[in-house]
Amino acid sequence: MERVTKRLKIFGRVQGVGYRAWMVQTATEMDLTGWVRNREDGSVEAVVTGDDEAVRKLIASCYDGPKTSKVETISVSDGLDELLTVFEQRENA
């Protein structure tokens, strides 16, 4: 079981539709840690840490998100493990 950290930038109709709350719930259910926040450009940014397979599954499910969202694209890059113990919603950037 390899532990990985990924930084996501999610673009589309992802603000004002419950995307961050959905991501906190979904990541928590998958035993992942990290954070999610809105960005000024209308995107959502997240850092996700956990088992490689679980992180990949979360990223795949991010394309669906909550029913009211419409994800156009997700940028994924390697991130730094912030050693968090939960997955949390952060203040806007």
Which residue of the set 3, 7, 13, 20 is catalytic?
A: 20
Q: Count the neighbouring beta carbons within 10 Å of the beta carbon of residue 48.
A: 26
Q: Is 38 a catalytic residue?
A: yes
Mutual angle of helices 19-29 and 52-62, in 10-degree steps: 150
Please report which helix (H) or strand (E) contains residue 25, including its range.
helix 19-29
Q: What angle do CA 6, 8, 13 make, to 5 degrees?
A: 160
Q: Is 3 a catalytic residue?
A: no
Under 8 Å between Cβ of 77 and 7: yes
Structure tokens at 87: 């997955």
Which residue of the set 3, 38, 39, 90 is catalytic?
A: 38
Give the residue numbers marked as catalytic. Answer: 20, 38
